[in-house]
Chain A
């Protein structure tokens, strides 16, 4: 286990909680502002070596736009409550201040009338950098096993 594993586990917990609570702006602050990417990829395309993402943000501005469309009411989307469970967090140091992190993700969706269903099964593949005392996302790929997506994927994973 890397010396950073505990810290990275805490990072993913915070990441998931910000999204679960729809604190989208705070979520964008987990990304490096200069150079960052965020992609949701289907396992099908990954296995075929095809480049198309389901969702792809290649700058910090694009990450902010993704959630601004939700926060500002531009998009009409399914307003279910989402709950993310992040498990099997592992990390490998790339340098003094950089790690490659992996984790599993399960997301449940709960309706306005209190009915919950499994929504998404996915894996995180991230490169994180320690900036002062905080870990920041340099790149985050979310590889989705459940790529036959139920209705839509509006809120980032």
Chain B
């Protein structure tokens, strides 16, 4: 960004990030800069879960910003990741989304690579009958795939394009570490399936959505109607030291059922509250929470594109794959656990109806993002979001849900890592 552009319409007029320029959701130059400074910057990008690479040679593909990467398990049981582009002429190397291979061979000129991304074979390296072939100066070791640094934490595999990425545990922060332990370690996860949603909205709108407990009991009438989430619930947010990662949670207590009058008051004038709504078969809302710790919803949002979510009795890894400034693929890995009984697995098939593109709760987030992108696409230049719910000023943890404070935390870190001007980033208030 040049300095002139930073004023209008890209200005950040408040130092607490209670105003966010709409241009960050629509501007192609900003999107380009995000690919350089965030996705190729000093961050850890989610790649996959270890259980998706069960054997030597297992591979999966994923996307980091606009770049497709291949993630493998090699002969020494290590995990590796590289750009899905041949070192020779750049062809896409792997076309399957996932699979198993002993080595990876480019379909074009059959250059082949080890599971670590090293160039192993070049057909006609010495030419044919003494003619042609590569020059003597050609060294296979100079032509490996573009590899990423890879580290894993408790089964979650991350990659970084950056030469000196931060320490992974420090990057995740204490709330992430304890929630990963709670959701993905105390029971061994297994993949029950994938869900994909192509949302015509900017990838950061989803980052806002998962850091926004304010909308939870307003947009999602299903939750309110059937007691999954209500404005009267206990809950709150915790943000990490540099404000980029958020854990928000809600707890349903016995008294929430008695708070219908308060709920009705919260919805006054909206015409949306429907306390008499009944389900013909409420089996899915009666599935017990099998963790037994009382948390009804816990959403762990890790910068830049990872969300580990427990919504009722569903457990899922959500990953954002930006497709330009105005579209994002939301990729969901839906989890069960090795210890699940047949009944628990069946229950997870029932509660899957809460989430994903057809989820009674989650489908509405896709629509909300679409509506925002529609709304801001050709708005009068210079407009800003208003993020004041829950208070303005320094970003802090809260023990209430009617707030958008953690969204401001996201923007604070985003603004800093993008090197944008016009606002003073603040640290977390004690």
Task: Report which of B284, B357, B364 forms a contact with A76, defined as CB distance below 8 A.
Answer: B364
Task: Report which of B97, B192, B200, B356 forms a contact with A54, defined as CB distance below 8 A.
Answer: B356
Number of B interface residues in the complex (CB < 8 A): 40
Q: Which residue of B lies closest to A40 (CB)?
A: B358
Binds A, one of B9-17, B160-168, B217-225: B217-225
Contact A52 B358 (CB under 8 A): no
Contact B274 A151 (CB under 8 A): no
Which chain B residues border A73 with CB–CB below 8 Å?
A: 221, 272, 274
Is B195's CB within 8 Å of the partner chain A?
Answer: yes
Which chain A residues border B219 with CB–CB below 8 Å?
A: 76
Contact B225 A52 (CB under 8 A): no
Contact A152 B345 (CB under 8 A): no
Interface size class for chain A? Answer: 35 or more
Contact B358 A54 (CB under 8 A): yes
Contact A59 B193 (CB under 8 A): no
Is A26's CB within 8 Å of the partner chain B?
Answer: no
Is A69's CB within 8 Å of the partner chain B?
Answer: yes
Which chain A residues border B199 with CB–CB below 8 Å?
A: 151
Contact B97 A56 (CB under 8 A): no
Interface residues of B in 342-376 (CB under 8 A from A): 345, 349-350, 352-353, 356-358, 360, 363-364, 366-368, 370
Q: How far is the CB of A35 from chain B (nearest CB, A)?
A: 13
Contact A52 B357 (CB under 8 A): no
Binds A, one of B149-157, B173-181, B234-242, B275-283: B275-283
Q: Which residue of B lies closest to A78 (CB)?
A: B367
Which chain B residues border A40 with CB–CB below 8 Å?
A: 358
Q: How far is the CB of B39 from chain A (nearest CB, A)?
A: 20
Contact A54 B277 (CB under 8 A): no
Is B88's CB within 8 Å of the partner chain A?
Answer: no
Task: Report which of B280, B358, B363, B366 forms a contact with A62, defined as CB distance below 8 A.
Answer: B280
Bound: A98/B42 CA distance, A: 61
Which chain A residues border B367 with CB–CB below 8 Å?
A: 76-78, 151-152
7 residue pairs bridging A and B, Cβ less than 8 Å apart: A42-B193, A50-B194, A75-B363, A76-B221, A77-B363, A152-B197, A152-B364
Task: Name B residues whose Cβ lies closer than 8 Å to a Cβ of A.
Answer: 97, 191-200, 219, 221-222, 225, 272, 274, 277, 279-281, 283-284, 329, 334, 345, 349-350, 352-353, 356-358, 360, 363-364, 366-368, 370
